[in-house]
Amino acid sequence: MTVKDISYSALFAAFIAICAMITIPTPIVPFSLQPLAITLTALKLSKHQALLAVTVYIIAGLMGLPIFANGSGGLHTIIRPTFGFIIGFLPMAYCINHFKDLKWKGFPFVSILTGIPILYIAAIPYLFFNLTMIQNIDISFSVVISSYCLTFLPTDTISFCIAFWINRRISL
């Protein structure tokens, strides 16, 4: 790992933290610019740099820095319903980064097709478990999917598209 790798990773970890602070409050899961930040991180950095940036962001938040959405942080965030989204950021960044290196025309579309589902595959089961087991809310899995997956799908897709647009306009 070079100084350049560490510097880029730290810069993008800070970028993710800043984007997490920009939220629109909704019940339980706020809409934030984290998907945009994770996507842009995965597109601009190498695989090692991107995964390091996301890992540093997660560890810093778990250590207590208030850098998760709505200014939360600390180990207690593990029992929050939204922690599944934080877990999903690592595989999401990995998948997007993997497809960016392919030199065929449809890579942005494939990245979106893999990035968003990977995030939701990690987040939605965690959210359902948290709501039903920890918070004792009587809710079905289909309601969780329709309320938190389908609701955020348009905004997350727009975030992905904006990240791809920004990616084409800046260089590192």
**How large a percentage of the chain has pLDDT more than 90?**
63
C-alpha 18/C-alpha 66 separation (Å) is 11
Give yes or no for residue 29 having a pLDDT over 70: no
Question: Which structure tokens are listed for 76?
Answer: 């207690």
Q: Are 50 and 12 in contact (CB under 8 A)?
A: yes
The predicted model gives 74-87 an average pLDDT of 93
* Start-to-end CA span in the chain (Å): 17
pLDDT tens per residue across span 6-18: 999 999 999 999 9
Q: Report pLDDT for 102.
A: 73
List pLDDT tens digits, range 36-62.
999 999 999 999 999 999 999 999 999
Q: What percent of the chain has pLDDT over 70?
A: 94
* 166 exposure class (CB count in 10 Å sphere: 0-12, 13-18, 19+): middle
Helix (H, G, I), strand (E, B) or coil at 139: coil
Q: Per-residue pLDDT averaged across 140-162, rounded?
A: 87
**Beta strands, E only, the chain:** 23-24, 31-32
- Give per-residue pLDDT as tens, 93-146: 999 998 887 766 666 667 777 888 999 999 999 999 999 999 999 999 999 998
Q: What is the pLDDT of residue 93?
A: 95
pLDDT at 152: 82
Report which of 77, 70, 89 is spatially closest to residue 130, judged by C-alpha positions.
77
Q: Domains of the chain (ranges plus CATH)?
A: 3-169 (1.10.1760.20)
C-alpha span between 103 and 99 (Å, rounded): 9
CA distances for 137 relative to 81, 96, 116, 134, 144, angstroms: 12, 34, 26, 8, 11
pLDDT at res. 137: 92
Task: State which amino acid sits at residue 72.
Answer: S
